[in-house]
């Protein structure tokens, strides 16, 4: 899908496609209420609407991203409600059958960036600033049987995500992985990441993508996953 993208808004790329593919494989539940967190251009929200979701909500903290998503939904004639704001804050008490999230997850800078293009990818020191919030806050936003599909880089720690999801009362597993070469941002941080891995005794690897699957403990299924930059 070709998407309108205002200046500074994240261009849909490998992680977007990996998440779209995971959604396609999981199948759209009947009458699904879908939330696309960190929507960017809104392509995942539009794909969810086209896949038969009954109601789609798209949220982004960036007003330019929210406007891009709104334009793309209108152009595609997809019934998507677009809200600007921080993660779950704009949706109040609503619950969802499927939550999609491709949050900023590139590890690097000391504090998460609050402005500009880098807000699309910078996830704070270990890439987990937004990821951990999604893990902690998603549970109560899932309807019984609901699912979370989330993508992030293996560099952020797949085990940490699984632990965080389980600690929040979800059953979690990886549902897909894909290896991707480092993009320009990660290449520019490679030396720093390598030093960090050396200090932690870790091995150097590519930015392999890793989806995980999460299940609500009440028996419903949900999915979460992780990918690359
Ligand atoms: C990696 S991009 C993903 C865009 C789109 N979902 C895709 O897959 O192409 C991450 C998006 O998260 C947004 N974002 C960053 N922090 C956020 C927050 N606290 N709440 C909501 N959106 C946020 C950014 O503005 C950016 O559009």
CA dist 222 to 63, 148, 189, Å? 29, 5, 33
DSSP output for 150-173: E--BGGG-HHHHHHHHHHTTEEEE
Q: Does domain 14-223 have CATH number 3.40.50.150?
A: yes
- Ligand 1 lining (C-beta closer than 6 Å): 10, 12, 16, 38-40, 43-44, 59-62, 65, 86-87, 102-104, 119-121, 130
Gap from CA of 199 to ligand 1 centroid (Å): 30
For residues 31 and 5, give the distance between their C-alpha atoms in angstroms, rounded to a whole number. Answer: 29
SS3 label, residue 109 = coil
Alpha-carbon distance 143 to 132, whole Å?
Answer: 20
Q: Where are the domains of the chain?
A: 14-223
Q: What is the pLDDT along the chain (229 residues), one digit of tens a residue?
A: 789 999 999 999 999 999 999 999 999 999 999 999 999 999 999 999 999 999 999 999 999 999 999 999 999 999 999 999 999 999 999 999 999 999 999 988 777 677 788 899 999 989 999 999 999 999 999 999 999 999 999 999 999 999 999 999 999 989 999 998 888 888 888 888 777 777 766 433 333 343 444 433 333 333 344 333 3
Among the listed residues 229, 187, 226, 191, the one whose alpha carbon sits nearest the alpha carbon of residue 210: 226
Question: What is the rounded distance in angstroms from the CA atom of residue 113 to the CA atom of residue 122?
Answer: 6
**57: DSSP letter:** E
- State if pTM tops 0.75: yes
Q: Which residues in 16-28 are b (16+ Cβ under 10 Å) and which e?
A: bebbbebbeebeb
Contact 24, 225 (CB under 8 A): no
Rounded distance from Cα 73 to ligand 1 centre (Å): 17
Buried b / exposed e over 153-164, threshold 16 CB at 10 Å, is bbbbbbebbbeb
Which residues, other chains included, contact 114 with Cβ-Cβ below 8 Å and sequence gap of 6+?
none
């Amino acid at each position: 899908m070709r998407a309108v993208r205002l200046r500074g808004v994240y261009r849909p790329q490998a992680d977007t496609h990996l998440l779209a593919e995971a959604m396609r494989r999981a199948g759209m539940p009947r009458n699904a209420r879908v939330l696309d967190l960190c929507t960017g251009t809104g392509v995942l929200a539009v794909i969810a609407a086209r896949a038969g979701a009954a109601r789609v909500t798209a949220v982004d903290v960036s007003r330019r991203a929210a406007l891009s998503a709104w334009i793309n939904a209108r152009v595609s004639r997809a019934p998507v409600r677009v809200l600007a704001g921080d993660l779950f804050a704009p949706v109040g008490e609503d619950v969802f059958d499927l939550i999609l999230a491709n949050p900023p997850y590139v590890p690097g800078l000391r504090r998460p960036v609050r402005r500009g293009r880098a807000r699309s990818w910078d996830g704070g020191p270990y890439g987990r600033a937004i990821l951990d919030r999604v893990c902690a806050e998603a549970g109560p936003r899932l309807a019984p049987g609901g699912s979370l599909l989330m993508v992030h880089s293996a560099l952020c720690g797949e085990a940490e995500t699984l632990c965080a999801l389980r600690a929040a009362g979800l059953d979690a597993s990886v549902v897909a992985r894909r290896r991707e070469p480092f993009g320009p941002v990660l290449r520019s941080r490679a030396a720093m990441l390598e030093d960090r891995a050396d200090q932690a005794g870790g091995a150097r690897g590519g930015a392999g993508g890793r989806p995980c699957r999460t299940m609500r403990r009440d028996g419903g299924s949900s999915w979460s996953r992780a990918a690359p930059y």
